[in-house]
Amino acid sequence: MPLTMVEQGKKVRLVSVDGGHDMQSRLAAMGLVPGAEIEVLGNSSRGPFLIAVKGSRLMIGRGMAHKILVA
């Protein structure tokens, strides 16, 4: 399922990224690689997405979050 479907406070694992090479490289540089545990810190219906990955807090756009597939 896309990351945008995960409720605030839940933890999930990144399965894949449905994006091009540039997007995958950018996310990998932030620690978002397959198998990484992601905690959703903020998921309001509007605005950016706030997540925690490997001890860092990241803010990503909703479009990008929708292309991150998790389980």
Specify the pLDDT at position 4: 94
Specify the pLDDT at position 46: 84
What is the CATH classification number for the domain harbouring 48?
2.30.30.90
Residue 70 has pLDDT above 90, yes or no: yes
Residue 14 has pLDDT above 90, yes or no: yes
Boundaries of domain holding 25: 3-70
Reference 15, options 36, 30, 43, 39; nearest CA is 36
Asked whether the beta carbons of 41 and 51 are under 8 A apart, the reply is yes
| Total domain count, the chain | 1
Q: pLDDT digit string (tens) for 21-67?
A: 999 999 999 999 999 999 999 998 888 899 999 999 999 999 999 99
Predicted TM-score of the model (pTM): 0.93
- Average pLDDT score over residue span 7-24: 96
